[in-house]
Amino acid sequence: MTAQDATSTTQSGKRPPEASPGATGGDLNAYVIARMGFPARPQEDLAEYMERLLPTMKPFGGHILSHGKEVENLEGVWPGYAVVLGFPDVARAHAWYNSPEYQKIMPLRRRHVDGELIVVEGNPPGYDATGAAAAMRRGILAGAPGTTKK
C-alpha cells in the first residue's frame, strides 16, 4: 500500500479498512462480478453513474478490470453484459459497496438495469486445485453427505 493509499479517506471521512497482509501494492485479491441486463435505451442516469463510479472505488483500492467488453459464452446463457471490478481484499470490496458515496450513485444504475453482483476472493498466485481434489476424494471415500462414488 502506498503512503497515499494509507492516508486516503472517503468523502464521509471514514478511512477504508486496511488491506490483508497478502494484498499489498497493486495486488487485487477480491473481485466484484456483475451480470447486468441491457437497458432499454441509453439513459442519462447511467452515463452519470459511469462517470461517478471510479471515484467511489479509488479510496478502497478499487479498479475497473472489465467494462463494456463483449461477453463470449463458453457454457450456458449469459443474458446481458459483465463488469469485473478488483479490490485488494473482500473487506475493501464490501466497504466500497456499503460506502455512502457508492450508495448515493447506485440508484442511478438500478433504476434502469437489472442484474446481480457477487464478490469472490481470489486464490494466491500459483494456486493448484489438486489439494482441493484430494480433500474431495477423502470426503467421498469417507461417505460424507452429498458425495457419490462413480
**Closest to 28 (Cα-Cα) out of 68, 46, 51, 1:** 1
* pLDDT for position 52: 98
- Total-model pTM: 0.74
d(CA 77, CA 43): 26
Low-confidence winner among 2-11, 32-41, 131-140 (lowest mean pLDDT): 2-11
**Which helix (DSSP H) or strand (DSSP E) does residue 36 occupy?**
strand 30-36
Domains parsed from the chain with CATH numbers: 3-125 (3.30.70.100)
For residues 28 and 87, is the Cβ–Cβ distance under 8 A?
yes
For residues 87 and 96, is the Cβ–Cβ distance under 8 A?
yes
The label of the residue with cell 474431495 reads: 136
The label of the residue with cell 478499487 reads: 62
The yes-or-no verdict on residue 16 having pLDDT over 60 is no
For residues 99 and 56, is the Cβ–Cβ distance under 8 A?
yes
* pLDDT for position 136: 86
- CA 130, distance to chain mean position in Å, is 25
Highest mean pLDDT, choosing among 51-55, 67-71, 145-149: 51-55
Give the count of beta carbons closer than 10 Å to the beta carbon of residue 57. Answer: 22
**Which helix (DSSP H) or strand (DSSP E) does residue 147 occupy?**
none
The yes-or-no verdict on residue 8 having pLDDT over 60 is no
